[in-house]
Amino acid sequence: MLKQNYKKIELSPKYTPKKSEPYMCPEQLAYFYQMLSNQLEEIMHNTDSVLSDVRIAEKNETAGVGDEQDQAAAEQELTRNLRMSERNANLLQKIKAALERMENGTFGYSVISGEEIGLQRMLARPLATMTLEEQEEYEKRK
C-alpha cells in the first residue's frame, strides 16, 4: 500500500478529491501532500517572523523603552507571540506526523483501528488520526 509517487503528481489547480476515486489513491495523496507541505512552509515562515518579534520585544523590555502603557502593550504582544509560537510548534508536529503517515502508507486510516477515516473527514480535517466515532469516544473519555 506504499504509494510514494504521489509527490511527483502535478494536479490541476481545480482538483478536489472525489468519493468516486479509490480511497487515498495517488491523486488524493498528492492533494493532501501539497496542502500539508504548503501549510508546513507557511508555518515555518511565520514561526521565524514570530520569533523575531519576540526577540525585538524582549530587547525593548530590557532596554525600558516607552512608558507604562507602551510596556504593557509590548508585554501583551509578547505573550500573544509566545502563544502563537507554541501553537505553531504543535501544528508543525501534527503536520510532520501526517506527512510521515503518508510515507508509510497509513495516512487517512485510523491509528486505533486501521479503518478508513473517510474522505469527507479528511477534507475537513486533514490532520485527523481517528474515525469520527473513535474521536467522539476519545472526547467522552477525556
Model confidence band, residue 119 (pLDDT cutoffs 50, 70, 90): very high
Residue 56 scores a pLDDT above 80? no
**pLDDT tens readout for residues 81-116:** 788 888 888 999 999 999 999 999 999 999 999 999
Q: Is the pTM of this model over 0.75?
A: yes
With CA atoms as reference, report the closest residue to 131 among 115, 22, 123: 115
Residue 65 scores a pLDDT above 60? no
d(CA 27, CA 122): 14
Q: What per-residue confidence (pLDDT) applies to 61?
A: 60
d(CA 3, CA 7): 9
Determine the length of the chain.
142
